[in-house]
Amino acid sequence: MKVFSFAAVLLLVALCFTYVPVKVEASENGGMGCAACTLVVGLLEQSAQIHNRTLTQEAEVMCQWLPGFLSGICQDIFKIVGPILFPIVEDCGSADIACNFITLCKNETAVCRLFPPPPSARTEEEYNRLLATTNSRSDRPKVDILSVLCDKAPNLCKYAHRFLGIPQPRSLKDRSKNLGISAPHLPTFDSDKDMFSDYPQLRGYFWRGKDCDDLDAAVHPGRLSSDIFGDMNCNTIVGVDSATGSPYEDEWCQGTGSMGIAMLGDSATAHFRIPAEYLTARDWNESTFNYLLPLLENEGDWPMLSWGTGFMNASQMPVGNIRGPMSSLYKHLVELNQCNRNDYQNMGVNGADSGNLVEWTTLISRNGTDTANPDKPLLMLFSMIGNDVCGHEHNFDSMTTPEEYLNNVVSAIYSADSRLPSGSMIVLVPLVDGRILYDEMHNRIHPIGKTNNDVTYTDLYDYLNCLDSSPCWGWMNSNETVRNTTWKIASSLNAQLPVAVNMTSGKLKNVKVYYPGEVMSAAINSSPVPKWELIEPVDGFHPSQTGNALIADAYWKALTSMGILPSANPNNQKILEKFGRYL
Ligand code: CA
């Protein structure tokens, strides 16, 4: 789903608001810069309150807890911003008002407000008077955080832009451009340019199977080969069975329906997640931000724990404040056939929608035409579950039309068919009914409100909409008519998926296309755990770790019951005994 604006805001928090997008298309009220300022200052204020420290002391402590070079940058920024900002916060007791004072928020009419009024302003009139007093001060300083940052840390400027690609809020009509993050979303460290890496982050093996030889492009996951002398497909199965004289790959894998998986999707496919601890001042300690740098290198995503390509357990993550079960289609595919080990590719990109599908098919490593070096077939999912109806714009016109959606999906099917090996499959995943988000979350307290029990999800949704910075106006909206209309439009898009199957039926050479229906929504509705536990607490928008595992198992069950998957490999036990467990 679309997370650009929100990711920006949250990562800004984590970065101690050291990064403001190069060109923020700020709303009249201040947009993301305002939201970031208010969140960071609000959190510092809460933490200062809890530990009975001044804001300056609190900022020093928080900066020390940031990892690596971020710590120094954070201190430099607060040395400049603190003396201007903190007296105002201490004076009026409101992060909202203080961020207005330094003009990051341009909230002259006090319409956008995250936190309730401070105790010194019990009524709306008092609050407005306080805001007016602050706004009317003639010496209001303009704080250009971006200039400060780029001055202090030119590398971070570049780093943030390169790896976060954080984004001016972009027009929904301008979809395929400016997705920003390390385009074209391939591994940064990839010596042999075979689209696989032996480095985990930066689109490396947390995203795509680990490259067991990054100096030889002929060695990579997904190859169909006998592997007599070397493990060409990196699944650890290699060598010749001395008893029979046959290569193990031929003996135990050939003809068993071995196949890999590729997920083409959005931030839900990539498993976008900001740890709730980042936004809960009372939970901050010296280890809270330990995972921040790898998380930035992963664009805020956790593909190694995602429902499509997860391969680790949350408990294996050394840090990162993540808990919950892990299940994935990849894990099930390996259990079905041990020859499928290490054969996964996650092309989930924050902010992507159906307009990106064709391009994503070109970024998958699979060659159906190279008969000299053949690849295995692929199970490919098109999983754009939200952004076609999500954006910061307050209207329905900017959502994808059914005609555009059908054209996007059908074009991507043909593109995949021309690239993939014969025997591959495409599974179409519909948009999810996002009304669950408001229904389940609106009355709950958001992590940023945990300290003083004062910010609900409705407050946050309204605030982000007020700033024109919501990742999804249609779902994250307190207006029921808006949410219902958004679902009506999403349903009209989903209705195109069976049409796409029919339109391409009989016209494809290498792939078969399936639409199993609204599996995800059905799984959510019959969840054995409370539904709010399926939703990420910080963004109130993406599937949580528990939600990811639930979706994985529901899809696996659906695909199994459709009878489209190969049978289990009868040689699994022998492979495990000879080559050990991989997952
Ligand atoms: Ca092998």
The pLDDT assigned to 175 comes to: 37
Quick check: helix, strand or coil at residue 577? helix
CA 582 to ligand 1 centroid distance, Å: 12
| Whole-prediction pTM | 0.90
| 152-179 pLDDT tens trace | 666 555 544 443 333 333 333 343 343 3
Residue 103 has pLDDT above 80, yes or no: no
Whether 152 contacts 73, CB under 8 Å: yes
CA 328 to ligand 1 centroid distance, Å: 22
The pLDDT assigned to 158 comes to: 54
Can you say whether the dihedral through the CA atoms of 559, 560, 562, 567 is positive or negative? positive
CA 374 to ligand 1 centroid distance, Å: 13
CA 343 to ligand 1 centroid distance, Å: 11
Amino acid at 250: D
- C-alpha angle 256/262/266, rounded to 5°? 155
CA 236 to ligand 1 centroid distance, Å: 5
The pLDDT assigned to 162 comes to: 41
Whether 138 contacts 81, CB under 8 Å: no
The pLDDT assigned to 218 comes to: 94
The pLDDT assigned to 22 comes to: 28
| 6-56 pLDDT tens trace | 444 444 444 433 222 223 344 567 777 788 889 999 999 999 999 999 999
CA 226 to ligand 1 centroid distance, Å: 7
Quick check: helix, strand or coil at residue 123? coil
Quick check: helix, strand or coil at residue 427? strand
**267 among known catalytic residues:** yes
Which among 15-24, 76-85, 185-194, 289-298 has the top mean pLDDT? Answer: 185-194
Neighbours of 507 (CB within 10 A): 10
| 334-350 pLDDT tens trace | 999 999 999 999 999 99
Q: Which one has a higher pLDDT value, 502 or 160?
A: 502
Q: What is the mean pLDDT of the chain?
A: 87
CA 246 to ligand 1 centroid distance, Å: 14
CA 259 to ligand 1 centroid distance, Å: 13
Whether 307 contacts 271, CB under 8 Å: yes
Q: Which one has a higher pLDDT value, 159 or 404?
A: 404
Q: Which residues of 77-104 are buried (b: 16+ CB within 10 A; e: fewer)?
A: bbeebbebbbebbeebbbbbbbbbbbbb
Among candidates 412, 34, 116, 302, which has minimal Cα distance to 13? 34
* Residue owning tokens 């839900």: 268
Alpha helix ranges (H) inside 349-508:
357-361, 402-419, 435-441, 457-466, 480-494, 496-504
Among candidates 175, 116, 135, which has minimal Cα distance to 30? 135
449 burial class (0-12, 13-18, 19+ CB within 10 angstroms)? buried
Residue 226 has pLDDT above 90, yes or no: yes
Whether 547 contacts 555, CB under 8 Å: no
- In the structure, what pLDDT confidence band is assigned to residue 236 with cuts at 50, 70 and 90? very high
CA pair distance 358, 417, nearest whole angstrom = 11
The pLDDT assigned to 583 comes to: 66
- In the structure, what pLDDT confidence band is assigned to residue 98 with cuts at 50, 70 and 90? confident
Q: What is the mean pLDDT of residues 203-219?
A: 97
Residues contacting 55, CB < 8 A, separation 6+: 44, 45, 48, 82, 86, 89, 90
Whether 513 contacts 416, CB under 8 Å: no
DSSP class of 344 = E
The pLDDT assigned to 148 comes to: 63
CA 173 to ligand 1 centroid distance, Å: 44
CA pair distance 389, 374, nearest whole angstrom = 39
| 115-133 pLDDT tens trace | 998 887 878 888 888 877 7
CA 257 to ligand 1 centroid distance, Å: 15
| 261-320 pLDDT tens trace | 999 999 999 999 999 999 999 889 999 998 888 898 898 999 999 999 999 988 877 665
The pLDDT assigned to 296 comes to: 85
| 509-530 pLDDT tens trace | 999 999 999 999 999 999 999 9
The pLDDT assigned to 69 comes to: 81
Whether 11 contacts 163, CB under 8 Å: no
The pLDDT assigned to 266 comes to: 96
The pLDDT assigned to 446 comes to: 96
The pLDDT assigned to 52 comes to: 95
CA 241 to ligand 1 centroid distance, Å: 13
Residue of 27, 267, 383, 398 marked catalytic: 267
- E runs forming strands in 172-299: 260-265
The encoded tokens of residue 500 equal 């796409």
Task: Give me the percent of the chain exceeding a pLDDT of 90.
Answer: 67
DSSP string for 465-519 = HHTT--S-TTTS-S-HHHHHHHHHHHHHHHTHHHHHHHHHTT--SSEEEE---SH
CA 231 to ligand 1 centroid distance, Å: 4
Candidate from 182-196, 413-427, 485-499, 568-582 with smallest mean pLDDT: 182-196
Q: Which residues of 170-207 are buried (b: 16+ CB within 10 A; e: fewer)?
A: bebeebeeebbbbeebbbeebebebbbbbbbbbbbbbb
Among candidates 454, 459, 463, 428, which has minimal Cα distance to 441? 459
The pLDDT assigned to 317 comes to: 75
User: What is the separation, in whole angstroms, between the first and last Cα of the chain?
Assistant: 28
CA 190 to each of CA 122, 197, 360: distance values in angstroms, whole numbers, following the listed order? 59, 5, 18
CA 249 to ligand 1 centroid distance, Å: 6
Neighbours of 354 (CB within 10 A): 25
The encoded tokens of residue 283 equal 């939970």
